[in-house]
Chain A
Amino acid sequence: MALIGRSVPRPDGLAKVTGRARYVDDVAEPGVLVGATLRSTVARGRLRGIVRDPSFDWSGLTVVTAENVPANVVALIEEDQPVLASDDVRHAGEPLALVAGEDALRVARALSHLRADIEPLPPVLTVADALQRTAQIYGSDNVFRTVRIAKGDAAAAIASCPVQLSGTYATPHQEHVYLEPQGVRASWDGNGGAHVLSSCQCPYYIHKGIKRTFGLTDERVDVTQAVTGGGFGGKEEYPTILALHALLLARASGRPVKMIYDRKEDIEATTKRHPSVVTVTSGCDRDGTLRAVSIRVILDGGAYVTLSPVVLSRGALHAAGAYRWEHVSIEAQAVATNTPPNGAFRGFGAPQTIWAIERHMDRIARTLRIDPLALRERNLLRVGDTTPTGQFLKESVGVARCVEEAKKASRWDEKRRVAAGAPPAGASGMFRLPPPGAVAARKARGVGASVYLHGAGFTGSGELAHRARVAVDLFSDAAGKPRFRIRGASTDIGQGTETVFRQIAAEALWVSMDRVDFTTPSTAHVPDSGPTVASRTVMIVGGVVEAAARALFALIEGDRQEKGGSFEDAARRLLGEHGSLTVEREYEPPPGHAWDDATYRGDAYPVYGWGCAIAEVEVDLDTFETTVLSLWSAHDVGKAIHPVNCKGQIEGGLLQAVGWALQENVVMREGRVVNARLTDYVIPTILDAPRFTTILVEDPYSRGPGGGAKGLGELPMDGGAPAVAAAVEHATGIVCDRLPLLPEELYALSKEVRR
C-alpha cells in the first residue's frame, strides 16, 4: 500500500484538465433566472427608500428589498449585518436591493432604473478616526472586540532591559483573487425546502445562514458545494450572503436563480484581508537574548463584525512570533469603519502580526549588528518552552530544523556577507545608493529571512465546540463489489482535500485508493466536519477520517477473524447482512487540552506548523522595481501525506505573500474600491514569480493523521512578506515597515536613506 507520502495523481485532476469539471457557472439549466445586486455608492448614510423608475418596463422582473427578507440578518458571530440594508447604510458596495430576470441585459437595465434614496452621513474611513470616535458607528467605542494576552510583567521587564526598541508596522487590504469569482445557484422545492449550489468553502455556514434567515429546519436546507475555483478564505463567510440573495430572488420569482459576480463586483463587494497597524516594544540583552515584549494590534474590521473577532484572536495569538519571551503583553483590537467588511483570508490575522514581529526582529538585529537569522536562532521556541498563553510545547517544534535547512539551501551566510549585486567594499553587505547621476551598477541584490509559526486547527476550545464529524461507509458498487465512501463537509477548493482524504482512508482500510470515494459535500448527505478553514482540514478532519476508516477496518477484520475467509469475503458478508455499513467518528481533542476564553490562558492550538523563508531580491535602483529571484523555504508539516500537494500549498502561499509584499494594493477613495479590476489590482504573473526551493521538514505530531500530519494551508502566507522586505533592506539599505513595498514607496523612502 504505502499511500501516505506518495504524490498520487489527484483524482479530481482529470475533469479539470479536460474542461469537464462543472463550476457553478458551467451548469446549463433552462428556466434559471439571472440575479443581480443594487449596491450603495456611499460609505455611510440613511436609506430612505428604493425607488423604481415608473417609466421603465418592470414586467417579468423580480425585485427584492429588505421588506422581503424574513429575518434580515446574516447569521455569523454577531447578527449585526443585514442581508439587505433596510435603514442604515454602512459601507459602499453594501447590498440594497436585488433584481432577477430572464436575461442579463434586462436585469442590468433594471438595476440602472432602480434608485437608492440615501441621505449621506459623514463616514468613518480610518481606524484612527474610528478610535477617536469622529462618529459612533458600532457600540459605544467603535471597537468590535479587544483581546488581551499577558505573561509575566512585560512593562517592568522591558524597562529593566539594556536594549529597548519600539517600532510600528502596517499592512494593507489584500484581495483574494480566487480565479473563479463568487457564484451561486438557488431554488426552492414544492415542500418549502431551499436548495443551493455554491462555490464555497463551508456548506454548513450557508446552511446555518439559510435556516436563520428563512426560519427553516435542518432537513429543509440542502447546500451543495460546486467545483470551486479557489477560496483562500474569500469563500468562507461571503457565500452565505450571496446564497441568501439568490434564495430571496428564487422565492419571489418562483424560479431557480443564478448569481455570478463579475470581477469588478467581486472585488468591490466581497471581503478582504484586514489592514493592520501593529506597534511592538521589546526589551532584550546586548547579545540579542529576547526578554520581554509589549504589542498593540489594531485591525480594521470594516463595517460589520463578520469574522473579525476570531481573525483578531488569531492575530494576537501569533503576535509574539516563533520566539521565547519571559514576559509578554498583547492588546489587540478590531475596529469598525465604513468600509466593506474585511474577513477571512489565508493566515487569518497572523500574516499581519508576523509581519510586525519579523520586521521588529530585523530592527533588533540591525541595532545590535547581529545577523538576522542568528538573532532568531538564539531565541527560537523549543520543546519544553511555553507560549504567551502559557501553552507548554510538548512536541513537534521543528522550527530549528527549518531554519537550518533553509539557510543551507540558500547559502545564506555567503550571500549575507556580500550581496550578489557587487557592493562597494566596506559597505557591510549593503549596497549603498549611488549619489544621483552616478553610472554605477544600477541594480542591487540582497537576501532576507523570516521565521514563523501557525497554529493548526481552530483557536482554543474551537475544535471542542465544533466536534468535527465524518462518516465512512461500506457499500456495494453496481457490480456488487464492496466499496468505501468518505462523507464530510470539508471541501476541496483546489488544495487537494479529496486526494488526501482518500489516501488516508485507503491506507487505514488497506485497500487501493480507487476503491474509496469522496462524497461531494452536500448538507443533505454529509455530517458536519466543520468549515474548510484554519489549516484544520488534513490535521483535524483528516484525523477523524482516519479514525472512522480504522474503525470500519476493525469491524470488517473482526468479522474475518471470527468467520474466516478474506477481507473481501468479510466485507461482502457484512454487506449481505446489513445492506451497507456506516462508521461515524468525531474529533477527540488531545487529553489534557485546556483553554480559557476569558483569560486567554492555555492551549491556544493543538499544535503549530513552523517555517523559515529566505528571499533573494534584485532591486532596480533607478526605478525601485523589486524582483524576487529566489525563495527558499523549509516548513515543518509534521508528515507530508502528499508531498507535491504540500509544495503546491507552500509555493502558492508564498507567492500570494510576495504579491501582498510588492504589488497588491487596494486603492480606496471615500470608502470605495477604485481599482476593482485585474488590470489595476495586480497579482503576480509567472514572470513575477521567483524560483522556489521548497523543503519539507517532518517533525511528526503524535495525533496527526498519516503518521503525524499538521496543518499547512496558511503557514506559508505568514512568512513571505517579511522575508522580501528584509531582502530589500539588505540590497538597498531602505527599511520599509509598511506594505506594500511599491516602487513609489521605496523611492520616497530612498530619499530619506540618502539624507
Chain B
Amino acid sequence: MSLAELPLHAFERPGSLADVCATLSRRAGKGEETVLLAGGTDWVVAQHMSPLSLGGELPLVLDVSRVPEIRGIRITGERAAIGAAATYLEVRHHAVLTRRVPMLTAMARDVGALQIQARGTLGGNLATASPAADGSAALMALDADVILANVHGERRVPIGQWFTGYRRTARADDEIIVRIEFTLPRTGGHQLWRKVGTRAAQSISKVALAAIGEYERGRCVRVGLGMGSVAPVTASLPTVRALAVSPGPQVVTDEHLDAAVRRDISPIDDVRSTAAYRAHVASALVRGFFHTLRPVSSAG
C-alpha cells in the first residue's frame, strides 16, 4: 500500500563512499533514517507490503548501487573480497569463485531468478538480515568478515557476531557495509549448497544449508556451516561444527548429528512450512553432508 508513497521519498545518488559516509553521519546524528538502496529486491518489496506512513518523515533513499568503492570482486592471494554492491550475477559468473567456492556460486544461481540475481547484492542480503537469506547462510559457512565503514574509517565484524536478533544486525546507523571478506576454502575438500524451497526457482528457502569441509592430509580440520530459515537468525550450527572436528565425520553417528542439529536450530511454523518438516530436513541435509565427508577422510 505504501508503494504509493515511494515517489515522495527524497533520493540521492552519492558518487563516492566518502559522500555516503558523510550523509549517514549527518543524518544519524539527527536521528534521521536513511535507506541504503542497492538492488531494491528487499526494500521495494517491503514497501509494497507495509502500511502507509501516516504523515511521518520518510527516510532518505541513498542509491549506493554504483558507489565505486563497494563494487566488484577482488581475489588477493587466498583472500576474497566481495563488494557489498556486487550482484549475485557477478558472484555467479566469477571465475575464481566458481572454481574455489562452488558452494557460493551455486547459492547465487539459486537466488530468485536472473532478474533478482542481476539486482540483488550480498551487502543487501546481510543488511536485511532475513533468517531465510541464502547469501547469509553461504557467508556463514565461509566464516566471512563483514567490513563496515563510516566517516571515521573501517570496522570488521565476524559474521558470527553480525546478526544480533530477528532482522537486526551489528551495523550502526552511520555505517555502510562496504565489502565481505573471507579466506578461500582449501582445495580438495567438500562443499555443499542445498536449498529446499517452495519451488524450483523464484523461491524462498524453507531450509537451506551451506557447508564446507576442509582437509589437511586426509583429516577434516574445519567444517563451516550456515543454515537458513531454521532460527530467528542465520544459524551457524556450532554444535554440529564441533562434531566434525571431534570425533570427526568418520566416527560421528547420525544420531549424534541429529541431536546436535536439534540443539542448534529452533524452527517455527509459518505460511511457508512447518517446524517439524524444517527440523527433519535440517537433519537430513546435515547427515547428507557428513556422509559425503566420510569417504574422503577414510581415503586419506
Contact = CB atoms under 8 A, between A and B. Distances in A.
Interface of A: 103-105, 108-109, 112, 264, 436-437, 439, 442, 622-625, 627, 663, 667, 674-675, 677, 679-680, 682, 684-688, 743-744, 747-748
Interface in B248-300: 254, 271-274, 276-277, 280-281, 284-285, 287-288, 291
Given A685-B113, A687-B199, 18 more contacts: A104-B4, A108-B1, A112-B54, A439-B291, A442-B288, A622-B281, A674-B271, A679-B45, A680-B271, A682-B202, A685-B202, A743-B206, A743-B277, A744-B276, A744-B277, A747-B276, A747-B277, A747-B280
Contact of A623 (B48, B271, B284): B284
A312 to B, nearest CB: 29
Contacts of B273: 744
A685 B291 CA distance: 32
Contact of B196 (A623, A663, A667): A623
Contacts of A624: 277
B55 to A, nearest CB: 8
A663 B285 contact: no
Contacts of B274: 744
Nearest to B200: A687
Interface of B: 1-2, 4-5, 8, 45, 48-49, 51-52, 54, 113, 196, 198-204, 206, 254, 271-274, 276-277, 280-281, 284-285, 287-288, 291
B199 A663 contact: yes
Contacts of B206: 743
Nearest to B7: A105
Nearest to B274: A744
Nearest to A685: B201
Given A682-B198, A743-B277, A108 B52 contact: yes
B132 to A, nearest CB: 11
A688 B277 contact: no
Contacts of B280: 747
Given A680-B271, A688-B199, A623 B4 contact: no
Nearest to B272: A680
Closest 7 CB pairs of A and B: A687-B200, A622-B284, A105-B4, A744-B277, A437-B254, A675-B271, A685-B201
Contacts of B284: 622-623
Contacts of A439: 291
Contacts of A622: 281, 284-285, 288
A667 B199 contact: no
Given A439-B291, A663-B198, A679 B277 contact: no
A624 B291 CA distance: 19
Contacts of A679: 45, 204
A703 B250 CA distance: 73
Contacts of A109: 52
A108 B45 CA distance: 17
B131 to A, nearest CB: 15
A441 B32 CA distance: 56
Nearest to A111: B1
Nearest to B287: A437
Contacts of B199: 663, 682, 684-685, 687-688
A625 B274 CA distance: 14
Contacts of A264: 48-49
Nearest to A108: B4
Contacts of A686: 201
Contacts of A442: 288
Contacts of B5: 105
Contacts of A674: 271
B146 to A, nearest CB: 26
B48 to A, nearest CB: 8
Interface core residue of B4, B54, B273 (most chain A CB under 10 Å): B4
Contacts of A663: 198-199
B272 A623 contact: no
A628 to B, nearest CB: 11
Contact of B200 (A108, A685, A748): A685
A254 B66 CA distance: 48
19 contacts: A264-B49, A436-B254, A437-B254, A437-B287, A439-B291, A442-B288, A622-B284, A622-B288, A679-B204, A680-B198, A680-B204, A680-B272, A687-B199, A687-B201, A743-B196, A744-B273, A744-B276, A744-B277, A747-B276
